[in-house]
Amino acid sequence: MAGAPGDEARRAVAEAHRREWAFVLAATARVTRDLDIAEECVQDAYVAALDAWARQGVPRNPGAWLTTAARHRALDGLRRDRTLRAKLPLLIVPGAEQEPAGAADGAIPDDRLRLIFTCCHPALAREAQVALTLRLVCGLTTGEIAQAFLVSEPTMAARVTRAKKKISAARIAYRVPEAAELPDRIDAVLTVVHLLYTTGHTDPVGSGLVRADLVERAVGLARMLHELMPDEPEVTGLLALLLITDARRAARTDNAGNLLLLEQQDRSLWDSGAIAVGGALVAEALRRGAPGRFALQAAIAAVHAEAPSYPATDWAQILLLYDRLIRVWPSPVVALNRAVAVAMVCGPQAALAEIEELERDGRLDGYRYLPATKADLLRRLGRLVQARAAYAEALGLAENAAERSFLAGRIAEMSRPTQGP
Amino acid sequence: MTKYAILIYEAESGYAEGGPDVWQEVGQAHGRFSGQVGEKGGKIEGGEALQPTSTATSIRGDVVTDGPFAETKEALGGFYLIDARDLDHAIEIARLCPARFGGVEVRPIMDTTGMG
């Protein structure tokens, strides 16, 4: 008989865990001035919510309820036991030492940006930034994060603990960076979110191509950042990039789980609603001028997404965007992707010259998409023996099952005797 | 304010080969740095330059050996002790610290009060 309210409470708590964790933890950390203690208090608040919401119903504003509960716990703890107060309290600066005047009547300041900028501080190693973001901003358990990154739970626990210790001991401030340093710091945050997405998007060693939970966490973080920093074009660009890339998810593999290239995908399976939203965000990001790497990548993805077919894509526009991208982000991976556009505009021979240049450069040694792209160009030039060798090289580097089976299929194709003209 | 050490790691060969001109330039650079720390709102609490590692003696357990504790291309050649608001502020200051033949490392100072 009490099943229904209990179920409803459980659902509401799970929903609040997904949507409100960052808000509740960020606001609680301001009171505890210690990330570990804040986490404990927030965990306790979620446990208390299960019982309270089943008895009294789900509150109108679950985030505020949870924050108030977590902060009460924190204050009780501090009153009861002074030693709970961390020896090196979290450095809350500047001008935010006091709660805003309205705090007493339930207005809780939104500290999520402080939290994510602290988690993604450049003085922390990238892998620590990623782990802390999943732990503190998304509320994932250490076990879940370890699983997502294919390391043991003790290894991940040690990584998280070490990073938290550094925040406290090295006095990494709990704050939003100043305007002068903001572009670099935003880039670090966006890099972490993008890394989460790509890790989920091509599950590096898994058998499926997409680890949906990581992808959804990344898209959720990008939405949150866009909500909190609507005027930052790179933030808008990242959200657009993730939405448009993810809109193709259903078309990326066939029913047997085999990888399908962009040119082989059934475009009717693409999520046109998400593409439209992404396209509007791209336009918004570009309107602000001097687009950065995320806005330009999103623009490229949008041109692909809006094309009726692979051959009918506006390749000249794509090449133009890659030219701009490589100026703001001179990375060999960008040069490799640009070579694909060169092949479409100027032919495979011209693109092959650029690939060989990249091989000499050496920075992409061991990167499976370099031989895979080269193989495809050689195949189109009819140089099948060399194409086969390049596919084999790519296969030797690929770990994802869907990618491996695609490459093996190509090798088999190259090995068949050439058919007529 | 928090105390940080700025540890200066440089290739000693740079000074050995550079001669007196380099010494003079670096000396002036450190003079300018002292002024800049104050302008940035920090404070230098102390600091020293060290004689080269060829003068070092290492002791591990009972064994005394000639030379630095670890042979590295870039060796600890000096340090500053500064006061800064937080790590970002300390990094902002440390960026200005002269280290033409290497770089610097920023380390927070441990508060040992109450450790007995």
pLDDT tens readout for residues A255-272: 887 778 888 999 999 999
Tell if the CB–CB gap between B86 and A181 is shorter than 8 Å: no
For A258, B11, B49, the CA distances from B68, given in Å and listed in that order, are 58, 14, 15
R_g of chain B computed on alpha carbons = 16
User: Whose structure tokens read 């340090």?
Assistant: B79
Q: Which residues contact A421 (CB under 8 A, 6 or more apart)?
A: none
Residue by residue, pLDDT tens for chain B (116 residues) are: 899 999 999 999 999 898 899 999 999 999 999 999 999 999 999 999 999 999 999 999 999 999 999 889 999 999 999 999 999 999 999 999 999 999 999 999 998 877 66
Mean pLDDT of the A35-60 span: 94
Task: Give the burial class of A253: count Cβ atoms within 10 A of its Cβ; 0-12 exposed, 13-18 middle, 19 or more buried.
Answer: middle
For A56-150, strand residue ranges (E) read: none
Chain A residues within 8 A of B108 when measuring between CB atoms: 169-171
pLDDT at A85: 56
Band the pLDDT of A415: cuts 50, 70, 90: confident
Mean pLDDT of the A313-333 span: 96
Distance CA A370, CA A379 (A): 14
pLDDT at A319: 97
- DSSP letter at A42 equals H
pLDDT at A84: 52
| A86-95, A130-139, A164-173, A179-188, range with the lowest pLDDT | A86-95
Tell if the CB–CB gap between B88 and A173 is shorter than 8 Å: yes
pLDDT at A106: 56
pLDDT at A248: 93
Closest Cα in chain B to A177 = B88
Helix (H, G, I), strand (E, B) or coil at A371: helix
Task: With a cut of 70, say whether residue A170 has pLDDT above it.
Answer: yes
For CA atoms A91, A97, A100, A103, the dihedral sign is positive
Task: With a cut of 60, say whether residue A95 has pLDDT above it.
Answer: no
Mean pLDDT of the A228-233 span: 94
Distance from CA of A123 to the nearest CA of B (A): 9
Band the pLDDT of A421: cuts 50, 70, 90: very low
- DSSP letter at B58 equals E
Q: Does residue A330 contact residue A361 with C-beta atoms inside 8 Å?
A: no
Q: Which of A87, A88, A172 sits opposite B87 (nearest CB)?
A: A172
Distance CA A198, CA A118 (A): 22
Query: Could you tell me where the DSSP H helices lie in A247-368?
Result: 272-287, 293-306, 315-328, 332-346, 348-361
What angle is formed at CA A193 by the lines to CA A189 and CA A199, rounded to 5 degrees?
140
| A83-97, A101-115, A194-208, range with the lowest pLDDT | A83-97
- DSSP letter at B112 equals -
Residue A130 structure tokens? 């990623």
pLDDT at A126: 93
Task: With a cut of 60, say whether residue A116 has pLDDT above it.
Answer: yes
Mean pLDDT of the A33-48 span: 93
Distance from CA of B16 to the nearest CA of A (A): 33
pLDDT at A417: 62
Residue A279 structure tokens? 């396209």
pLDDT at A260: 85
Identify residue A136 by its one-letter amino acid code.
Answer: L
pLDDT at A310: 93
For chain B, strand residue ranges (E) read: 2-10, 43-49, 57-60, 63-66, 75-84, 102-108
Band the pLDDT of A102: cuts 50, 70, 90: very low
pLDDT at A420: 45
Tell if the CB–CB gap between A121 and B87 is shorter than 8 Å: yes
pLDDT at A198: 87
Identify residue B43 by its one-letter amino acid code.
Answer: K
Residue A328 structure tokens? 């703001």
pTM of the model: 0.85
Q: Which among A363, A316, A315, A314 is positioned nearest to A335, based on CA atoms?
A: A363
Identify residue A104 by its one-letter amino acid code.
Answer: A
Task: With a cut of 70, say whether residue A2 has pLDDT above it.
Answer: no
Distance from CA of A38 to the nearest CA of B (A): 21
Band the pLDDT of A27: cuts 50, 70, 90: very high
Q: Which of A88, A171, A181 sits opposite B87 (nearest CB)?
A: A171
Residue B108 structure tokens? 């927070």
Band the pLDDT of A104: cuts 50, 70, 90: very low
Tell if the CB–CB gap between B87 and A181 is shorter than 8 Å: no
What is the ipTM for the molecules in this complex?
A: 0.85
Q: What share of chain B is helix, strand, coil (3-state, %, to 5)?
A: 35, 35, 30
pLDDT at A253: 83
Q: Which of A93, A123, A177 sits opposite B85 (nearest CB)?
A: A93
Distance from CA of B25 to the nearest CA of A (A): 30
pLDDT at B60: 94
| A136-150, A230-244, B26-40, range with the lowest pLDDT | A136-150
Within 71-90 of B, beta carbons closer than 8 Å to A belong to 85-88, 90
Band the pLDDT of A93: cuts 50, 70, 90: low
pLDDT at A110: 85
Cα pseudo-dihedral B65, B68, B71, B73, rounded to 10: -150
| A2-11, A12-21, A336-345, B18-27, range with the lowest pLDDT | A2-11
Tell if the CB–CB gap between A123 and B91 is shorter than 8 Å: yes
